[in-house]
Amino acid sequence: MTQTYENYIGGEWTGSGETQDVTNPADETDVVSTVPVASAADADEAVAAAAEATDEWGGMPGPERGAILRETGEILKSRKDELAETLTREEGKPLGEAEGEVQRAIDIFYYYAEKARDFGGTVKQPSGGRAGLQTKKEPMGVAALITPWNYPIAIPAWKIAPALAVGNTVVIKPAMQAPTVGAMIVEALDEAGIPDGAINLVCGPGSEVGERLTTHDDVDVVSFTGSAAVGEHVYEQATSNGKRAQAEMGGKNPTVVMPSADVDKAADIVGAGAFGGTGQACTATSRAIVHEDVYDEFLDAVVDYAESLEIGNGLDRAGMGPHVSEDELAGSLEYIDIAQSEGATLETGGEELTGGEYDAGNFISPAVFSDVEPDMRIAQEEVFGPVLAVIPVSDFDAGVEVANDIDYGLSASIVTDRIEEENEFIERSESGVVKVNEKTTGLELHVPFGGLKRSSTNTYREQGDAGLEFFSYIKTVYRNS
C-alpha cells in the first residue's frame, strides 16, 4: 500500500506541488509513500505558523501539554504494527529492529508526557529584605528539528517530544530517504488534539528547506542529527544567526577486546554492534581493537558471526537488511576498495549481492577486515555500512590509545573480565557514551546522549532531562513585597 503525506502547516495538510516517491530499499518496485518536495517558501509558512502558536502552546499548563503527548503515545501504540512495517519498508531494517524502534518512540512520548507535568524551577533562600528568589524555566520559542533517515521514528520522537513538553512550537524536516514514519508522528499529534501551529512538518531537501530553517529569523533553536559535514555547517549557520543549536553527528565507534573476555561473547557483542541496522547507526561498532593474545580466535569468531547472518528483506525478519539507498551501498563498496588498496585483508563479505530478490534491492554481505592499521582510512573514517575493521594491539594501553586516536567520540565499549580495566577504560575513553561488556549501539531514553569531538557540537546533550534543558532557558526571579 502506498501512503500519501503532504506538509503539515498550521494544522492543515497542504501540498507543495512537486512530490517524491519513497521506495523500499529491499524492493524498488514497492512504493511506500508519496511525499511533497517542499520549498523554502513552505519552510517560511511553517515557521510563521509555529511562531503564531507559541503563546497558545507555551502558555498551556504543562500537565495539559503532557496529556496531548501521552495521547500521542497511545495513538502510536495502537498503530505499532503498521508503523513498524512502514519503517522496515522505507528504511530497510529487519522488522524486529523496527518494532523496537517504534516502541522506543512510544516510550519517549510517555516519558516526556510526565516530564511536562514536572518541569519547573527551583526556589532559593533570598538575602535579607527580599521576599523571594526563584528560577523559572521558559520555552525557547520556535524549534527547527532536522533529522536523518537511519532512525526515522526514534530520532524525530526524541527531538519533538521534549521540545513540545516544555512549550516550544516545532517545525520538523525529516530526511527524504525515510520521511513517512516521521509524518505519522505528526499525524498522531494532530489526532491527539495538538493546537494548530504547535507542530509543523515540511518534507523537502536539506539544501533548501534545511538551510532556510537554520537561518530563519523566527527560529529560536535548532536541533540537528546527521553527518558531520552537514552538522558542522548547520551549527555554524544557526549560531551565526544567533540561535541556540546542537548538532549530533557521526561516529567511528570502537570495542576493545581484552584477553580476559569470553571471546565468543565478545564476537557476538561486536557482530551485533557492527551489523545491526546494516551498520547504519551513528553508534555502530566499526572498529574491533583486539589484544594480540586473542586476535586470531576473535577474528575467526566474528567472521563466523558475519557469515551466519541471513541477508534479505527486513519484512521477512532477515538477519540483516539492505542499505537504505543505492548511494549508501556505493559508499560502502567504495570503502571496501579503499581498504584493500591500503593493504587491509578482506576476510569475508563486502560484496554487492545479486540474483533473485537481491536484484531489486541494495544488498551487501557484511564485511570483516583484518590486518588493519589504526591510521588507515577504513579505521579512521565513518563508513556507515556493515564493515568492520579488526585492529590488533599489544596491551590495554595501546587499545585505549587506538580507541581514542580518532576524530570522532560517540560511543565506545570494552569487553573484559577485569574490573580495573573497566574502570580505567571508563576514565580514559574519549567518547560521550562508554559501555562495558555490551555493544556500542543501543541507548536508554532517560539518560543523556551525545558525543565528543566531531561526533557532536558538545553544546548540549539529547534525551533524558538533558533534552528538556536544551529546549528551555532559565529566568531568575527576584521578588520584593
Please choose, out of 14-22, 42-50, 88-96, 203-211, the segment that lies near ligand NAD by the rule CB under 6 A: 203-211
**Stretch binding ligand NAD (CB under 6 A), from 86-94, 204-212, 262-270, 292-300:** 204-212
Residue nearest to ligand NAD (CB): 206
Alpha-carbon distance 414 to 290, whole Å? Answer: 10
Give the total of residues touching ligand NAD (CB under 6 A).
Answer: 29
CB 408, min distance to ligand NAD, A: 9
- Rounded to whole angstroms, the Cα distance separating 261 from 352 reads 33
From the CB of 220, what's the least distance to ligand NAD, in Å? 16
For the record, the C-alpha cell of 395 comes out as: 596491551
Classify 389 as helix, strand or coil: strand
Q: Kind of pairing, strands 285-291 and 253-257?
A: parallel
Residue 204 or 271: the one with the smaller Cβ distance to ligand NAD is 204
Residues 64 and 77: their CA atoms lie apart, in Å, by 20
Nearest to ligand NAD of 345, 459 (CB atom): 459
Interface segment toward ligand NAD; rule CB under 6 A; list 24-32, 128-136, 192-200, 205-213: 205-213
Cβ 439 to ligand NAD, closest distance in Å?
Answer: 15
Q: Which stretch binds ligand NAD (CB under 6 A): 131-139, 144-152, 310-318, 464-472?
A: 144-152
Nearest CB to ligand NAD, comparing residues 326 and 417: 326
Give me the count of residues in the chain.
481
Known catalytic membership, residue 97: no
DSSP string, 104-143: HHHHHHHHHHHHHHH----EEPPPTT-SEEEEEEEE-SEE
Nearer to ligand NAD by Cβ, of 250 and 321: the residue is 250
Rounded Cα distance between 135 and 150, Å, is 38
Residue 382 near ligand NAD by CB under 6 A: yes
Which residue in the set 248, 270, 333, 367 belongs to the binding site for ligand NAD (CB under 6 A)?
248
State in angstroms the smallest separation of the CB of 285 from ligand NAD.
13
Considering only residues 226, 254, 259, 277, which one is a binding residue for ligand NAD as defined by CB under 6 A? 226
Half-sphere exposure of 172 toward its Cβ, with a 13 Å CA cutoff? Answer: 33
Query: Does residue 295 belong to the site contacting ligand NAD (CB under 6 A)?
Result: no
Decide whether 134 or 325 has the Cβ nearer to ligand NAD: 325
What span, in angstroms and rounded, lies between the C-alpha atoms of 286 and 270?
9
Contact letters for ligand NAD, residues 166-185 (x by CB under 6 A) = -------x-x----------
384 forms part of the interface with ligand NAD (CB under 6 A)? yes
- What distance in Å separates the CA atoms of residue 321 and residue 365, rounded to the nearest whole number? 10
Q: Under a CB-based contact definition with an 8 Å cutoff, are residues 366 and 347 in contact?
A: no
Q: Which residues of 154-164 are buried (b: 16+ CB within 10 A; e: fewer)?
A: bbbbbbbbbbb
- Helix axis angle for 62-78 and 95-118, nearest 10°, is 160
Residues involved in catalysis? 248
Note the residues at the interface with ligand NAD (CB under 6 A).
146-151, 173, 175, 206-207, 210-211, 214, 225-227, 230, 233-234, 248-251, 282, 382, 384, 410, 451, 455
